[in-house]
Chain A
Amino acid sequence: MLKNISNNISNESIPYLFLLPCLLILGSLLSVPLYKVFEYSLYDNVIVQKDPTFVGLQNYQEILGDIAFWKATLNTIIFTVGSVIGHLIIGTGLALLVNTDINPKARTVFRSLLILPWILTAVVVAVNWQLLLNPFGIINYGLDKLGLINEPLDWLGDPSLAMWSLLLISTWRGYPFIMVSFLSGLQSVPKELYEAAELDGAGFFGKFWHVTIPQLKPVIYGVALLDLIWTFQLFPLVWLTTGGGPGRETEVLSTMTFRYAFVNFEFSKASTVAVSILIISAAFTIFYLRNEKNRI
Chain B
Amino acid sequence: MSKIDIKNLVKSFGNQEVLHGIDISISKGEFCVLVGPSGCGKSTTLRMVAGLETISGGEISIGDRVVNGLKPRERGIAMVFQNYALYPSKTVFNNMAFSLQNLKINKKIIDEKVLETAKILDITELLDRKPATLSGGQRQRVAMGRAIVRDPEVFLFDEPLSNLDAQLRGQMRAEIKLLHQRLKNTVIYVTHDQVEAMTLADKIVIMKDGKIEQQGTPNDVFNNPQTLFVASFMGSPPMNLTNATIFKDGVKIKNLEINFKKSSNLKIDKNVVFGIRADNIRLPEDDESGIPVKGFVTLVEELGTENLAHFNVGDNNFIAKTNAQAKLKLNKEHFFNFNMKHAYFFDPETGARIS
Interface residues of A (CB under 8 A from B): 190, 192-193, 195-202, 206, 210-211, 214-215, 217
Tell me the complex Cα distance, A211–B88, Å. Answer: 9
**Contact status of A192 and B85, CB under 8 A, knowing A199-B72, A199-B79, A201-B102:** yes
**Contact status of A214 and B88, CB under 8 A, knowing A201-B99, A202-B102:** yes
Question: Known pairs A196-B146, A200-B98. 7 more at Cβ < 8 A?
Answer: A192-B85, A196-B86, A199-B50, A200-B146, A210-B87, A211-B87, A214-B87
- Interface readout for B95-126 with A: 1 if CB under 8 Å, 0 if not? 00011001100000000000000000000000
Contact (Cβ within 8 A) B102 A217: no
11 A–B contact pairs at CB < 8 A?
Answer: A192-B82, A192-B85, A193-B85, A197-B98, A198-B72, A199-B78, A200-B146, A201-B103, A202-B98, A210-B87, A211-B87
Tell me the complex Cα distance, A200–B89, Å. Answer: 16
Q: Say yes or no for B77: interface residue by CB 8 A criterion.
A: yes
Q: Say yes or no for B335: interface residue by CB 8 A criterion.
A: no
Which chain B positions have C-beta within 8 A of A202?
98, 102
Contact (Cβ within 8 A) A200 B88: no
- Classify the interface of chain A: helix, strand, loop or mixed: helix
Contact (Cβ within 8 A) B87 A199: no
**Contact status of A215 and B88, CB under 8 A, knowing A192-B83, A198-B73, A200-B73:** yes
**Contact status of A196 and B79, CB under 8 A, knowing A201-B102, A202-B102, A211-B87:** yes
Q: Say yes or no for B81: interface residue by CB 8 A criterion.
A: yes
Contact (Cβ within 8 A) A190 B99: no
Tell me the complex Cα distance, A215–B89, Å. Answer: 8
Contact (Cβ within 8 A) A198 B52: yes
Interface centre among A196, A197, A201 (most CB of B within 10 A): A196
Contact (Cβ within 8 A) A199 B88: no
Residue of A nearest to B81 (CB): A192
Contact (Cβ within 8 A) B87 A195: no
Tell me the complex Cα distance, A217–B81, Å. Answer: 24
Which chain B positions have C-beta within 8 A of A210?
87, 90, 98
Contact (Cβ within 8 A) A196 B102: no
Least CB distance from A214 to B in Å reads 3
Contact (Cβ within 8 A) B102 A195: no
Least CB distance from A245 to B in Å reads 46
Contact (Cβ within 8 A) B87 A193: yes
Tell me the complex Cα distance, A201–B152, Å. Answer: 13
Residue of A nearest to B73 (CB): A201
Residue of B nearest to A213 (CB): B89
Residue of B nearest to A195 (CB): B52
Contact (Cβ within 8 A) B81 A195: yes
Tell me the complex Cα distance, A83–B232, Å. Answer: 65
Least CB distance from A192 to B in Å reads 4
From residue 52 to 102 of chain B, which have CB atoms closer than 8 A to chain A? 52, 71-73, 77-79, 81-83, 85-90, 98-99, 102
